[in-house]
Amino acid sequence: MATKNLPMREALRQALREEMQRDERVFIMGEEVGKWHGTHRVTQGLYEEFGARRVRDTPISEMAIAGAAVGAAMAGLRPVAELMTINFAFLSLDAMINHAAKIHYMFNGQFTVPLVYRAATGWGNQATATHSHMPEPIFAHFPGMYVGVPSNAYDAKGMLKAAIRDENPVLFTETIALYPKPSPVPDEEYVLPIGKADIKRQGGDVTIVTYARGVEWSLQAADMLAKEGVEVEIVDMRWLRPLDMEPVFESFKKTNRCVVVEESLPMFSFGSEIAAQLQEAAFDYMDAPIKRVSAMDVPLPYAAEIELMALPNAQKIVDAVRGVL
Amino acid sequence: MATQTATLPKEQLLDWYHQIVLIRKFENMCDALYAEKRITGVYMHLYSGHEATGVGALAAITPEDHVITAYRDHGIALARGVDPKAVMAEMMGKRTGTSGGKGGSMHLASREHNFWGGYAIVGGHLPLATGIALKVKYMGEPNVVISFVGDGATNNGYFHEAVNLAAVWDLPVVWIIENNLVGMGTRVEEASGQPDLVKRAIAYGMKEGPRVDGQDVVAVYEAVKEAVEYARATGPVLMESLTYRYQGHGVSDRQYSAREDLKSELEIWQQRDPIIVLRSRLTKRFKNIEPELERIEEEADRIVAEAVEFAEQSPAPGYEDLIANVYVE
């Protein structure tokens, strides 16, 4: 199959364009998505192509963006609402959690809420404490909404298309550092199923469970470890909800050792969840304590030297893997 | 605004009388059942006193139009034509309730009536109204959205953002502030820098609708009818209906309405009770209508009794209901 090397932002743009061409009910709304071309240029050109009806610039009104998307979705449209960055989603939390995620259940299935919240996420840009969050686990805490966290351009396109077509609300976050990174994207259309993890590297010694940018760091760490003769298996979860634990269990039963890598914070986290589920389901296969590589438990500072100190990297992952061998 | 009672058909006025009396009797029954613990739950906010607002407003729109409200929603559901049996069953948490017993008093809804629900986070439903209206405009439909909003909700951020967005996009929404003078226990003048709430329309460059007498169903109907026509043709309208809640904020609050200093206020409002105001209009215009009104009242008693019987005999939801509809499968 013919492919093109595309940066993640272009792959995402393809997904949006294809779904808007396929279904007139799909539209984009958010701050600076139209005439400004999107803060991270994901929506570049779509305003010119689809017009102001389908690419809707909004005021700086995160509560209204998130809530109006719920109403429009209930009424029959398929909004893709951009929250610019996930940091601003804290302003929209009520609409997302109390309404998007609960309306289908609370009214006993009378309404569906087929929307996608897109948001840029991640840190390491000297963006400082308020603009340096990776809070996806907060959203994955609540039943009723799916949470997609792609790690590369190919996955991002197929996952976003699935999210737009799904009848459930989806939070879809895109790591800013990954936007410019290319990966091969097929010319032909494809959709990747919601809630399916992917093995990004095979190996028999240690299982690394991760998502989003953690995959990149883990692949770097895997190369370093391979030189020492240690083969790691990398499970990219792709979705925090639904959480596809089967490949994790299978890998762990083979390796008996696990390191969880998360760009997010360590308390009440992705790592906590994976570790808890592993010990419940596969305690007899465990040869070492499960280790976590997370961001440090501090708000992120401005100065680059200490900011990067607080974040995961390949060396920290290598150290953690050595620690479970 | 000049009222046009003389031109309204008798059947319509009698239908409104039926609806207002039904809501009042329904709410009185809910109150009694709650006291007997036959309705349980922490929250229940009665519509008594507000009836003319809901009935008059919803008489001004068609079944294809849309309605959304906050948690004081029983009267809105009934005025929209939702079966009182299903509403009462929801109060009792039964499988036959409007939300299958999973929503409760504050989360009534009926998709088939384009009643998009009652919502319990103050202001939370306001952007949903904007979104529903966006769908109407996006698809080129001729419909409008009526979004009720309490006086208290006009002070949170949702109100500002949702109303402004509707104005920016010229969406067909009629925002009706049900101003009952108190948000939980805080008076409007203690909570709002501009207590003349409808004036906020000016700040959004939006059509300022009237401040209507919310005790008079005819006045509400006529004002909303005009607002709906404007919304269909042009864009959003903010209007206000002045009314009063008879039974405090909710069942968790009996002390407010029992306050000695407020008894006279309650009495003043009850002298202009929606039932009294409409009854007086009817008896003035139609001679010897009293027996007909009594029949309507008896009919309402019968409907409420049947609703209670239906609800009590309905099954409670089970485990399969507990786990159903978390996601669309």
Q: What burial class does residue A227 get, using C-beta atoms within 10 Å of its C-beta: 0-12 exposed, 13-18 middle, 19+ buried?
A: exposed
Hey, what amino acid is at B135?
K
User: Is pLDDT at B14 greater than 80 in this prediction?
Assistant: yes
Q: How far apart are CA A76 and CA B86, in angstroms?
A: 25
**Contacting residues of B for A62, CB less than 8 Å apart:** 161
CB under 8 Å, gap of 24 or more: what pairs does B263-268 form?
Answer: none
Residue B127 has its nearest CB partner, among A95, A106, A144, at A95
Q: How far apart are CA B160 and CA B149, in angstroms?
A: 12
**Contacting residues of B for A74, CB less than 8 Å apart:** 116, 128, 131-132
**Contacting residues of B for A95, CB less than 8 Å apart:** 124, 127
User: Is pLDDT at B69 greater than 90 in this prediction?
Assistant: yes
Closest CA to A310 of A324, A296, A320, A294: A296
Chain B interface test: which of A54, A56, A61 (most B C-beta within 10 Å): A61
CATH 3.40.50.970 maps onto chain A at 3-186
Q: How far is CA A58 from CA B57, B156, B236, in A?
A: 30, 19, 17
B149 domain-assigned? yes
Chain A interface test: which of B82, B121, B161, B329 (most A C-beta within 10 Å): B161
Partner B, chain A 85-114, Cβ-Cβ below 8 Å: 94-95, 98-99, 103-112, 114
| Chain mean pLDDT for chain B | 95
A62 catalytic per annotation: yes
Q: How far apart are CA B287 and CA B291, in angstroms?
A: 11
What is residue B6's predicted lDDT score, i.e. its pLDDT?
67
Could you tell me where the DSSP H helices lie in A101-176?
Answer: 103-106, 136-140, 153-165
**Contacting residues of A for B135, CB less than 8 Å apart:** 71-72, 75-77
Contact A67 B126 (CB under 8 A): yes
Ranges of chain A whose pLDDT falls below 70: none
Rg of chain A on CA atoms, in Å: 19
Q: How many domains does chain B have?
A: 1
The torsion angles phi and psi of A234, rounded to 5 degrees, stand at: -110, 115
Is residue B221 within 8 Å of residue B60, measured between CB atoms?
yes
CB under 8 Å, gap of 24 or more: what pairs does A305-311 form?
Answer: A307/A123, A307/A124, A307/A126, A307/A132, A308/A124, A311/A123, A311/A124, A311/A263
What is residue A210's predicted lDDT score, i.e. its pLDDT?
98
Residue in chain A closest to B164 (alpha carbons) equals A59
Q: What is the pLDDT of residues B152-194, one digit of tens each?
A: 999 999 999 999 999 999 999 999 999 999 999 899 999 999 9
Residues A18, A131, A141, A250: which is the catalytic one?
A131
CATH 3.40.50.920 maps onto chain A at 198-324
Residues A10, A62, A136, A233: which is the catalytic one?
A62
* CATH number, position B244: 3.40.50.970
- The owner of tokens 């009594």 is B294
Q: What is the pLDDT of residues B80-102, one digit of tens each?
A: 999 999 999 999 999 999 999 99
Here the tokens at position B68 are 């959304």
B258 domain-assigned? yes
What is residue A61's predicted lDDT score, i.e. its pLDDT?
97
What is residue B256's predicted lDDT score, i.e. its pLDDT?
65
Torsion, CA A196, CA A197, CA A200, CA A206, rounded to 10? -150
B242 vs B253, which has greater pLDDT? B242
Q: How far apart are CA B178 and CA B214, in angstroms?
A: 8
What does the DSSP 8-state code read for residue B78? H
Residue in chain B closest to A54 (alpha carbons) equals B138
Residue A68 has its nearest CB partner, among B131, B139, B157, at B131
CATH architecture of A198-324: 3-Layer(aba) Sandwich (3.40)
Contact B119 A64 (CB under 8 A): no
Q: How far is CA B185 from CA A45, A221, B203, B243, in A?
A: 51, 60, 27, 16
B229 domain-assigned? yes
> What band does B248 get if pLDDT is binned at 50, 70 and 90?
confident
Residue A56 in contact with partner chain B when CB distance is under 8 A: yes
Residue B162 in contact with partner chain A when CB distance is under 8 A: yes
Is residue B85 within 8 Å of residue B78, measured between CB atoms?
no
Residue B32, C-beta contacts closer than 8 angstroms, at least 6 positions apart: none
B78 domain-assigned? yes
Closest CA to A140 of A167, A165, A171: A171
- Percent pLDDT > 90 in chain B is 90
DSSP B218-284: HHHHHHHHHHHHHHHHT--EEEEEE---SS-SSTT--HHHH-HHHHHHHHHHHHT-HHHHHHHHHHH
What is residue A76's predicted lDDT score, i.e. its pLDDT?
98
Q: What burial class does residue B106 get, using C-beta atoms within 10 Å of its C-beta: 0-12 exposed, 13-18 middle, 19+ buried?
A: buried
The torsion angles phi and psi of A271, rounded to 5 degrees, stand at: -60, -40
B328 domain-assigned? no
B329 domain-assigned? no
Contact B102 A106 (CB under 8 A): yes
Which one of 3.40.1710.10, 3.40.50.2300, 3.40.50.300, 3.40.50.970 gives the CATH number of domain A3-186? 3.40.50.970
Domain enclosing residue B125, as ranges: 5-323
B152 domain-assigned? yes
What is residue B28's predicted lDDT score, i.e. its pLDDT?
96
What is residue B4's predicted lDDT score, i.e. its pLDDT?
56
- Taking the mean position of all CA atoms in its chain, how far away is CA B185? 20
> What band does B5 get if pLDDT is binned at 50, 70 and 90?
low
Q: What is the pLDDT of residues A160-211, one digit of tens each?
A: 999 999 999 999 999 999 999 999 999 999 999 999 999 999 999 999 999 9
Here the tokens at position A166 are 């799904």
- The angle, 0 to 180 degrees and rounded to 10, between the axes of the packed helices B51-58 and B10-35 is 140
Closest CA to B23 of B78, B72, B68, B67: B78
What is residue A258's predicted lDDT score, i.e. its pLDDT?
98
Q: What is the pLDDT of residues B274-287, one digit of tens each?
A: 999 999 999 999 99
> What band does B1 get if pLDDT is binned at 50, 70 and 90?
very low
Residue A99 has its nearest CB partner, among B124, B139, B168, at B124
The torsion angles phi and psi of A232, rounded to 5 degrees, stand at: -100, 150
A245 vs B257, which has greater pLDDT? A245
Contact A59 B111 (CB under 8 A): no
Looking only at Cα atoms, what is the longest distance across chain A? 58
Chain B interface test: which of A110, A111, A168 (most B C-beta within 10 Å): A110
Strand, helix or coil for residue B181: coil
Q: Which helix (H) or strand (E) holds A78?
A: strand A78-85
- A75 CA to chain B: closest CA distance, Å? 6
Q: Which helix (H) or strand (E) holds A232?
A: strand A232-236
How many A-B residue pairs are in contact by the CB < 8 A criterion?
A: 144
Mean pLDDT of B263-278: 93
Is residue B274 within 8 Å of residue B54, measured between CB atoms?
no
